[in-house]
């Protein structure tokens, strides 16, 4: 082997020995290079399923029962309630079902009839429909609708009744002079008590509402003449007692009981005629009182004339009442 070949072999042997010795003789650990997976540095967000998300939110529902019936009398104010739980951003509309007329949307009235109005206080769940000066034609079904997909609704029924006065006994009374005349008027088919009850003798008002608890001023008409009188008013608890000292007539009214009594302790011929009971919120009622001597009580011709005269007076009193 040539000299150059020997030198190459020696160099290779030396390199192998150096590498092997370093691996066997070194006791210090070789530092490891730290590695971080790429996915460990990624920001991830997890969303729950949509059905689970919506399932946890409170459900919208009505607090007012479907087919609720509201009864109101003519001339009064009707309130149709509609309570809605968890309405969210829904919008409430009121619809009159008999003609599908849109009455209100939110708090805006869309009807030309301004008697209809939606009432809602901030943060409340009640969307009430208010109907002022109720009329018979307002009776029927009303729909409270909430905008959604599809819309949800409940239906309410408004019943309208007409309050009327009723005088107990027959429509005509026959008395002789000096007898006691007592007339009792009650207000029936009513949902609220009357504010006052007026009594008329023919076309003359014989009682009045109060100004104070002691002395009251009464303005009334009789034919084409007008009168201003001071009369005495007394009270027993909540009952008002009016005295017409000039004619001997006492009127006691108890609005809470819907009753009014007219009393004449000793009736005279001047007390004969038509008496009409007129509550402020009801149809009036009339009765005709005949006062004459007992000798003429069984005279058929006389009684026939009285009945005809009573019919004429009843007609005239209603004409008078309508003109007021």
Give Cα 7 to chain centroid, integer Å.
119
Residue 227's contacts (CB-CB under 8 Å, 6 or more residues apart) are 218, 219, 220, 221
> Nearest to residue 84, comparing CAs of 134, 151, 159, 157?
151
Strand 164-167 relative to strand 215-222: parallel, antiparallel, unpaired?
unpaired
User: 222 and 204 in contact (C-beta within 8 Å)?
Assistant: yes
SS3 271: helix
User: 260 and 237 in contact (C-beta within 8 Å)?
Assistant: no
Q: What's residue 305's pLDDT?
A: 60
Helix spans in 146-197 (H):
none
| Domains of the chain from N-terminus onward | 61-161 (2.60.40.10), 164-210+234-291 (2.60.40.10)
pTM over 0.75: no
Q: What's residue 255's pLDDT?
A: 86
Cα(104)–Cα(185) distance, integer angstroms: 41
CA dist 66 → 5, 84, 96, 158 (Å): 112, 12, 15, 13
Q: What's residue 19's pLDDT?
A: 44
User: 238 and 256 in contact (C-beta within 8 Å)?
Assistant: yes
Which residues lie across from 315 on neighbouring strands? Answer: none
Residuewise pLDDT in 10s, the chain (324 residues):
555 555 544 444 444 454 444 444 444 454 454 444 445 555 555 555 555 545 556 788 999 999 999 999 999 999 999 999 998 889 999 999 999 999 999 999 999 999 999 999 988 999 999 999 999 999 999 999 999 878 899 999 999 999 999 999 999 999 999 999 999 999 999 988 898 899 999 988 887 633 333 333 333 333 333 333 333 344 434 444 454 555 678 898 898 899 999 999 999 998 999 999 999 989 999 999 998 875 555 566 655 665 565 555 545 544 544 554
DSSP state of 269: G
Where residue 211 falls (left for φ over 0; alpha for ψ -120 to 50; beta otherwise) is alpha
Q: What's residue 225's pLDDT?
A: 37
Q: What's the first-to-final CA gap in the chain, in angstroms?
A: 152
């Amino acid at each position: 082997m040539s000299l150059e070949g020997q030198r190459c072999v020696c160099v290779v042997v030396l390199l192998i020995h150096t590498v092997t010795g370093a691996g066997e003789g070194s006791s210090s650990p070789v530092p490891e290079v730290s590695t971080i997976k790429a996915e460990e540095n990624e920001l991830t967000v997890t969303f729950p399923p949509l059905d689970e998300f919506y399932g946890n939110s409170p459900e919208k529902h009505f607090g007012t029962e479907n087919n609720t019936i509201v009864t109101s009398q003519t001339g009064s104010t009707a309130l149709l309630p509609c309570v809605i739980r968890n309405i969210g951003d829904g919008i409430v509309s009121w619809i009159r079902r008999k003609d599908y007329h849109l009455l209100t949307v939110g708090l805006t009235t869309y009807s030309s009839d301004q008697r209809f109005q939606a009432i809602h206080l901030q943060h409340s769940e009640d969307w009430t429909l208010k109907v002022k000066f109720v009329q018979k034609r307002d009776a029927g079904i009303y729909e409270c609708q909430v905008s959604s997909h599809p819309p949800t609704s409940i239906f309410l029924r408004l019943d309208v009744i007409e309050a009327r006065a009723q005088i107990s006994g027959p429509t005509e009374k026959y008395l002789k002079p000096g007898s006691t005349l007592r007339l009792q008027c009650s207000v029936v088919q009513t949902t609220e008590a009357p504010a006052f009850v007026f009594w008329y003798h023919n076309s003359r008002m014989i009682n009045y509402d109060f100004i104070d608890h002691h002395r009251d001023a009464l303005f009334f008409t009789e034919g084409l003449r007008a009168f201003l009188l001071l009369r005495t008013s007394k009270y027993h608890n909540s009952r008002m007692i009016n005295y017409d000292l000039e004619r001997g007539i006492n009127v006691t009214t108890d609005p809470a009981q819907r009753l009014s009594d007219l009393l004449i302790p000793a009736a005279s011929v001047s007390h004969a005629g038509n008496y009409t009971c007129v509550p402020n919120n009801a149809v009036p009622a009339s009765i005709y009182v005949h006062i004459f001597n007992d000798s003429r009580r069984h005279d058929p011709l006389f009684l026939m004339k009285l009945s005809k005269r009573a019919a004429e007076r009843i007609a005239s009193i209603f004409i008078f009442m309508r003109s007021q």
